[in-house]
Amino acid sequence: MEKRLLDAAMEGDIKSLHGLLQEDPLILHRSMVSCVSETPLHVSSMLGHVNFVQELLSLNPELASELDSHGCSALHLAAAKGHVEIVKELVKVDPGTCTVRNEDGKTPLHLAAIKGKVEVARVLVRACPESARAVTERDETALHLCVGNNRLVGLKSLIEEIWKNDDQLLNWKDCDGNTVLHLAVAKKQIEIIKFLLTSRGLDINATNKNGFTALDTLRQSPRDLRDMEIECILKDAGVLSAKDLHIITPDWHPSPTKVPRITKSMVSNVSTERSISGKPLMVHKHTDWLGRKRSALMVVASLIATVAFQSAITPPGGVWQADEHFDKAGNPLKYPLKAGTAVMAYSQKTEYGQFMIFNTLAFLASLSIILLLVSGLPIRRRRWMWLQMVIMWIAITAQVLTYFISLRYMSPESAKGMLHDVTQISVLTWLCLMLVVFIGNVVRMNLWILRKYGYIKEKEQEQEPPPAEVNDDDEDI
């Protein structure tokens, strides 16, 4: 009987259901207490048999609150599958199932958010506004799940519905203290970020448990080509870093009778004046100059290496597609053509040699940068960063020369006169720019050396007594 009932539920056969009820009027009640994990309502709700679901609920409304072996109600299954009409029928009979969590800690609204079932989410929030406040085991709301699964349309719909009842849910934080904006920035979801920044009531400068705002989260995440665009979007909307918000959580409080213990890590990170013996101790503001330079060099070096590699395997003019040993007259060629070899190497040997030299130089220089950055060697000082910058200048210059050689080869004879003039002007301009950059960095390096060895003193050091020396082993001052 139970098997026949499940078969009827799978087919949505109301006539078979009535026939079974005539044979055993208690069959629906027996299905609730049997060892079968899924009731007929679970099966028909999952498969979308609206009429069968309506008939079951009219005969036994208690089926709506039954859970399967995974802790899911029929509403969970209908919501995950996006059966809007069935969801309406189920919440009409038992609205309380909207807040029931399965063994994974998710409510029907959570499943609808994950799957992007927009209309189902609307029905659930309207039927039970409390379901919008239900969270997962990681304290994630349905909004977090929409962002986590890149469901922009579902997010817009949910925010529109939730705003009517709770304008603070948009700033809810998960177990790590992340709001939906933190999560969208971490996942580099540009369209969702733009939408969230236009939403009313969003705290754009909320911080997580690490003290990071959304802007700090971007800077701490792995570098990406979208980072610059996202940073511009955040800054234009007024998003600040925790540093700019002056959020300071001191780890210790100075005593008026005891000099505090100061370590190298404190000296490098503290940017305010501490009072020692009644006189201010001037500590220079720490900047992550080296970290930013390393990230920028890695991105640019990867890009140049990719372009140079592609240029090497697909040179200007392409490659021969088949072997050729004889010309059109049937005479043997002095230099037989081989499939896969560059056309340019046969037609313009000198230009091909120049092209490969500069392209190889750009490729190896950029790979050298990447190797140095990932080598793990102690090359975090400024002098090593300057060396890497010089290598990067070489790679960029070689890439520019490769571009002009390719351009000249691919241009027809009628355009080469004008192209020659344009090339001369462009190369001259580029060399002037490189010279200005080189001179500027030489000046900076000389000033740094002079300051390091005491030939130039900074204003703060001239006006105030020098700070106490910090031992390498973090000894007390």
In this structure, what DSSP letter does residue 319 have? B
**Better-predicted residue by pLDDT, 323 or 392:** 392
Range of the domain at 383: 299-410
What's residue 165's pLDDT?
Answer: 64
- Mean pLDDT across the stretch 363-374? 85
Q: SS3 of 333, please?
A: strand
Q: Categorize the per-residue pLDDT at 151 as very low, low, confident or very high, splitting at 50, 70 and 90.
A: very high
pLDDT exceeding 90 applies to what percent of the chain?
Answer: 24
460 within some domain: no
- Phi/psi region, residue 68 (left: phi>0; alpha: psi -120 to 50; beta: rest), is beta
Residue 473 has pLDDT above 70, yes or no: no
Q: Check residues 273 and 166 and name the one with the higher pLDDT.
A: 166
Count of positions (residues) in the chain:
477
Instruction: Quote the pLDDT of residue 332.
Output: 74
Q: Is the pLDDT of residue 84 over 90?
A: yes
Q: Which residue among 410, 442, 467 closes a domain?
A: 410
Average pLDDT over residues 346-352: 79
Q: Which residue has the higher pLDDT, 130 or 332?
A: 130
Confidence (pLDDT) at 290: 62
User: What mean pLDDT, rounded, does the chain reach?
Assistant: 78
Q: How much is the average pLDDT of 342-353? A: 80
Question: Would residue 426 count as lying in a domain?
Answer: no
Does residue 96 form part of some domain?
yes
What's the pLDDT tens digit per position in 224-235?
888 889 989 999
Tell me which of 1-10, 144-153, 187-196, 334-343 is least confident: 334-343
Amino acid at the residue 411: S
**What percentage of the chain carries pLDDT values higher than 70?**
80
Counting the structural domains of the chain, the total is 2
Single-letter residue type at 40: P
Tokens of 391: 């290598």
Give the whole-angstrom CA distance, residue 68 versus residue 74.
Answer: 8
Phi-psi region of 340 (alpha: psi -120 to 50; beta: other; left: phi over 0): left
Task: Judge whether residue 83 has pLDDT over 90.
Answer: yes
Dihedral angle computed from the Cα positions of residues 374, 378, 382 and 384, in that order, rounded to the nearest 10 degrees: -70
75: burial class by Cβ within 10 Å (0-12, 13-18, 19+)?
Answer: buried
The answer to whether position 41 is within a domain reads: yes
pLDDT range class, residue 254, cuts 50, 70, 90: very low
Whether residues 27 and 166 share a domain: the answer is yes
Q: Is the pLDDT of residue 247 over 90?
A: no
CA 107 vs. chain centroid, Å, equals 27
| Among the listed residues 462, 288, 456, the one whose alpha carbon sits nearest the alpha carbon of residue 380 | 288
Q: Last residue of some domain: 410, 427, 445?
A: 410
Which comes out higher in pLDDT, residue 104 or 424? 104
Q: Can you point out the beta strands (E) in 282-427?
A: 324-326, 332-337
- pLDDT for position 414: 67
pLDDT surpasses 50 at 212: yes
304 domain residue, yes or no:
yes
Question: Does the pLDDT of residue 73 top 60, yes or no?
Answer: yes
- At residue 246, the pLDDT reads 67
In this structure, the answer to whether residues 167 and 313 fall within a common structural domain is no
- Higher-pLDDT residue of 285 and 203 is 203
pLDDT band of residue 301 (cuts 50, 70, 90) is confident
- Across 49-58, 296-305, 312-321, 392-401, least confident range: 312-321
Q: Angle, to 10 degrees, between the axis of helix 2-11 and the axis of helix 14-23? A: 160
Closest CA to 315 of 409, 395, 439: 409
Listed residue (233, 135, 114, 246) closest to 185, CA to CA:
233
What is residue 67's three-state secondary structure? coil
Residues 6+ apart with CB under 8 A from 112: 79, 80, 82, 120, 121, 124, 142, 154
DSSP 168: T
Flag whether pLDDT at 249 surpasses 70: no
Counting Cβ atoms within 10 Å, is residue 405 exposed (0-12), middle (13-18) or buried (19+)?
buried
Q: Predicted confidence band at 359 (pLDDT cuts at 50, 70, 90)?
A: confident
Query: Which of 183-187, 279-283, 323-327, 386-390 is the least confident region?
Result: 279-283
Q: Which residue has the higher pLDDT, 82 or 403?
A: 82
Inside any domain, residue 23: yes
Burial code of 372-384, b = ≥16 C-beta within 10 A, e = fewer?
A: bbeeeeeeeeeee
CB 87 within 8 A of CB 79: yes
Pairing between strand 332-337 and 324-326?
antiparallel
Residue-level pLDDT at 75: 93
Residue 462 lies in a domain: no
CA–CA separation, 41 and 170 (whole Å): 35
d(C-alpha 245, C-alpha 239), whole Å:
10
Antiparallel, parallel or unpaired: β 332-337 and 279-281: unpaired
Which tops the pLDDT comparison, 273 or 297? 297
For the residues 86-91, what does the mean pLDDT come to? 93
At 76, is the pLDDT very low, low, confident or very high (cuts 50, 70, 90)? very high
pLDDT tops 50 at residue 161? yes
Q: Which long-range contacts (CB under 8 A, 24 or more apart) does 251-254 make?
A: none
pLDDT at 424 over 90: no
319: β partners: 342
- pLDDT at residue 471 in the model: 42
- Where is pLDDT greater, at 98 or 254? 98
Q: Are residues 165 and 16 in the same domain?
A: yes
Q: Is the four-CA dihedral 38, 40, 44, 47 of positive or negative sign? A: positive
Please check whether residue 226 is in contact with residue 186, taking contact to mean a CB–CB distance below 8 angstroms: no
51-61 mean pLDDT: 90
In a domain, 239, yes or no: no
pLDDT score, position 252: 38
CA-to-CA separations, 457 to 382, 450, 460, 463, in angstroms, rounded: 19, 9, 8, 10
Task: Supply the pLDDT for residue 89.
Answer: 92
Position with higher pLDDT, 444 vs 117? 117
Q: Which of 410, 442, 461 is the last residue of a domain?
A: 410
Is the pLDDT confidence value at 164 over 90?
no
Give me the CATH number covering residue 89: 1.25.40.20
Q: Are residues 167 and 304 in the same domain?
A: no
